[in-house]
Amino acid sequence: MATAQTGDPRLTEIVEALLTSLRGIIRKHRISHEEYRRAVGFFVETAAKGEIPLLFDVFLEATVDQVDAQGRSGTETSVEGPFYLPNAPLLKSPCVLPQRPKEPGDILLLSGCVRAVDGEPLGGAMLDIWQSDAQGAYSHFNIPESEAPWNLRARVIADERGEFEVQTRVPAPYQVPSDGPTGALLRAIGRHPWRPAHLHLRITHDLCETLTTQLFFTGDPWIDSDVVGAVKESLITTLDKHEDPADFKQRGFDRPYYTVRYEFALPRLLRKAA
């Protein structure tokens, strides 16, 4: 006598819910066999071009982040995205992010403090920072490795008061790769492929939960229509421009610079009951 197969209960529930939703869409929109074959072909092509992670990150990762963040306190999270690299150079604040000898773009001083949600400064907190350059390019991915393997990437250790200051460049908006099937789909549904300029941060400390987030800037042309939907109001900062020659010369700069300051708050680690 055959016995009933038992599967993973959560996976079973989710797959059944997914299939019910998809079948409902097929019925509601009267999907034809030709359209069904085109959809299958789209996923085959997306996989062949290595764009499955891109497709999912563009359309779904921000929703996963929102679900993950429910009930979390402190600074809001945002998606990690596809351009993070582990083991970036370890630097002590204040510091300058690794960059090319003539790194293009405006000088940015990013400073702030890392605290626990109850206000205690988190001395020695580590800020893993990564960003695009002033042309929207990321090292390792679209800046040649030989030119600058860790361009505008570092793990920065905050001082004993949780304070940090990092000299970098103002990042630029960029388009997600749009020459493959993901880009073709975006065009076909009338959506642009742009992300507003942003800084990525992953902040860790022994006493707290890790914070993965992004900082954005007021006035960015794509701030209200980020293709990946990762912008949150509380993460939008203002770039302050400093143009006084006496000021920028005193800092050792040959031109005006920008500053951004942000106070980060990390949730305390939940202690397991004994």
Q: Least Å distance between CB 231 and Fe ion?
A: 12
User: Residue 61: beta bridge partners?
Assistant: none
Q: Report the residue number, 133 or 209, with the smaller CB distance to Fe ion.
A: 133
Q: Report the residue number, 57 or 209, with the smaller CB distance to Fe ion.
A: 57
Cβ 95 vs Cβ 154: under 8 Å: yes
Pairwise CA distance, residues 55 & 181, whole Å: 9
Q: Report the residue number, 83 or 253, with the smaller CB distance to Fe ion.
A: 83
Owner of token pair 């990437």 = 153
Helix (H, G, I), strand (E, B) or coil at 186: helix
Integer-rounded Cα Rg, in Å, for the chain is 22
Q: Least Å distance between CB 230 and Fe ion?
A: 9
Give the x/- contact pattern for Fe ion in 156-195, rule: CB under 5 A: ----------------------------------------
Q: Least Å distance between CB 266 and Fe ion?
A: 21
Q: Least Å distance between CB 175 and Fe ion?
A: 11
Q: Which of 47, 45, 76 is nearest to 62 (CA)?
A: 76
Q: Report the residue number, 81 or 193, with the smaller CB distance to Fe ion.
A: 81
Q: Whats the size of the chain, residue-wise?
A: 274
Residue nearest to Fe ion (CB): 81
Pairwise CA distance, residues 202 & 195, whole Å: 19
Q: Which of 164, 147, 241, 148 is nearest to 201 (CA)?
A: 164
Q: Least Å distance between CB 51 and Fe ion?
A: 17
Number of residues that bind Fe ion (CB under 5 A): 1
For residue 202, count other CB atoms closer than 10 A to its CB: 17
Q: Report the residue number, 107 or 227, with the smaller CB distance to Fe ion.
A: 227
User: Residue 167: beta bridge partners?
Assistant: 96, 109
Query: At 200, which helix (H) or strand (E)?
Result: strand 198-204
Please classify residue 32 by burial: count the beta carbons closer than 10 Å to its beta carbon, then call 0-12 exposed, 13-18 middle and 19+ buried: exposed
Q: Report the residue number, 81 or 181, with the smaller CB distance to Fe ion.
A: 81
Q: Which of residues 121-150 bind Fe ion (CB under 5 A)?
A: none
Q: Which DSSP state fits 11?
A: H
Segment interacting with Fe ion (CB under 5 A) among 15-23, 76-84, 101-109, 185-193: 76-84
Q: Report the residue number, 115 or 195, with the smaller CB distance to Fe ion.
A: 195
Q: Least Å distance between CB 60 and Fe ion?
A: 17
Segment interacting with Fe ion (CB under 5 A) among 29-37, 78-86, 114-122, 147-155: 78-86
Q: Least Å distance between CB 81 and Fe ion?
A: 5
CA distances 1 to 4, 41, Å, are 10, 41
Segment interacting with Fe ion (CB under 5 A) among 11-19, 79-87, 156-164, 183-191: 79-87
Q: Which residues bind Fe ion (CB under 5 A)?
A: 81
